[in-house]
Amino acid sequence: MVDRVVVLSDDAVESGGAAGIALRSVRLLAGRNIPVTILNGSAEPEGADRWRAMPGVELHSLGGLSLMQGGRAAAAARGVFSLPALRFVAEWIRANDTPGTVYHLHNWHKVLSPSVFRPLHRVAERLVMTAHDYFLVCPNGGHFDFQAGTACDRVPLSGACLTTQCDRRHYGHKLWRVARHAVRQGMIDLARSPATVLAVHDGMVPLLVRGGAARDRIAVLRNPVVPWRTTRVEAERNGDVLFVGRLERDKGPDVVAAAAREAGLPLTIVGDGPLREELARIHPGARILGWRSPDEIARIVGAVRFAVVPTRWRETFGLVTLEAMASGVPVLVSQHALIAHEAEALGCAQVCDPYDRAALAAAMAGLARDDVAVQRMSEAGFAHSAVLAPRPDAWCDQLVDLYDTVLARAREKRPDRSHAMLRPTGRPGGRPA
């Protein structure tokens, strides 16, 4: 029986991504009367009182800076090892830990740093770490060569890895990432640790194993999906192109803006980030709305013909892709997203190459002309995409089952590491296989 779940995250802002999934779990667990503590690495989020008002929920904020804040040298140092983050987590564990407490780490590489793995090592038998990306096993977080624009099949920290400039920026930054990865590995050895690595897609498992994670400690549970709308978007009647996500180069909003301008199509962008001003220059007519609530997005997508998800790396899950398809919005999705070919096989998406702007513009222009294809994709997504990921209640069922399994294994304290992998059944209300 779970006494409490401790959710650890770089931030506690519901803007999508890893933090959004972490906070969704808080709401769902609290709704089942499971006490939850949020250990937030960043400053107090807006609406912090709402979390504390939930029965059984505690929120503690470190007030740390992200790697994009403060001086570059100081950011580099604390990105490798943050003593305040170590103390923040260690002190909570020392004061509050019980044999029935489960720790769930969601993201750590922007604020908390590898230092949090030192105190978490003490409770590793009750630690779950969701791999929202590949930073647990790959220095650049993507198992991807960002310079070549191709998937990377090198073994992390091998000679071939160390001598390859695969980073988004430059080789010096790659070496900094290698140093950070080495510190993480020194804090917790995934090949021997009893901690559970939770993959969000089955396709991640071989890459996690290649990066050093023990296969028998990997579980698989796809993220929960809530459609933007409960009625189908009649996309065939619409004209707008949609991008939703962080406005950073790895997500590809710049290629969407350039391709949409080339195809002469109206573009709506929901999200924010460092590329915002650049996107306005690339596509002067684009509507850049910043982050919007789910209710606002539901209204926005009523005018959308299709969405573009042009991620430049091995996207581990693709929440926007699934949210769009489940609402009846067809998607042009990057070939590097693990969900891409499953979505294409269902008939609700087309696969694109985010490194080929001309081909992307042509594909966008084709969908802009073809009402029949758009309607067919819209109807297929609305009717069938639920088989690709669980709805929130089913996801929470599986998550609680995983916590129970972790606690039972910790109580047994046996030397063997047998652990059945959790896999979605393909049914929205399914239980773990």
Q: What percent of the chain has pLDDT over 90?
A: 84
For residue 349, report the phi and psi dihedrals to the nearest 5 degrees. -150, 160
Q: What sign does the dihedral 218-108-181-140 (CA atoms) show?
A: positive
Query: What is the rounded distance in angstroms from the CA atom of residue 308 to the CA atom of residue 224?
Result: 20
Other CB atoms within a 10 A radius of the CB of residue 107 amount to 22
**In this structure, which amino acid lies at residue 351?**
V
pLDDT at 1: 85
pLDDT at 81: 96
**Domain definitions of the chain by residue range:** 4-224+391-412, 235-388
Query: What is the rounded distance in angstroms from the CA atom of residue 416 to the CA atom of residue 405?
Result: 14
Query: What is the rounded distance in angstroms from the CA atom of residue 359 to the CA atom of residue 70?
Result: 40
357, 332 Cβ separation under 8 angstroms: no
141, 134 Cβ separation under 8 angstroms: yes
Element containing residue 338 per DSSP (H, E) = none
pLDDT single digits (tens) 197-255: 999 999 999 999 999 999 999 999 999 999 999 999 999 999 999 999 989 988 999 99
pLDDT single digits (tens) 413-427: 755 544 444 444 433
Query: What is the rounded distance in angstroms from the CA atom of residue 17 to the CA atom of residue 134?
Result: 14
> Helices (DSSP H) in 68-170: which residue ranges?
72-80, 83-96, 117-121, 159-162
Query: What is the CATH code for 235-388?
Result: 3.40.50.2000
Using DSSP bridges, classify how beta strands 4-9 and 101-105 pair: parallel, antiparallel or unpaired: parallel
pLDDT at 231: 96
Query: What is the rounded distance in angstroms from the CA atom of residue 414 to the CA atom of residue 311?
Result: 42
Superfamily of domain 4-224+391-412: Glycogen Phosphorylase B; (3.40.50.2000)
Where the chain has pLDDT below 50, the residues are 417-433
Asked, colleague to colleague, whether 4-224+391-412 and 235-388 share their fold, the answer is yes
- pTM summary value: 0.89
326, 257 Cβ separation under 8 angstroms: no
HEC string of 304-359 equals EEEEEECCCCCCCCCHHHHHHHHCCCCEEEECCCCCHHHHHHCCCEEEECCCCHHH
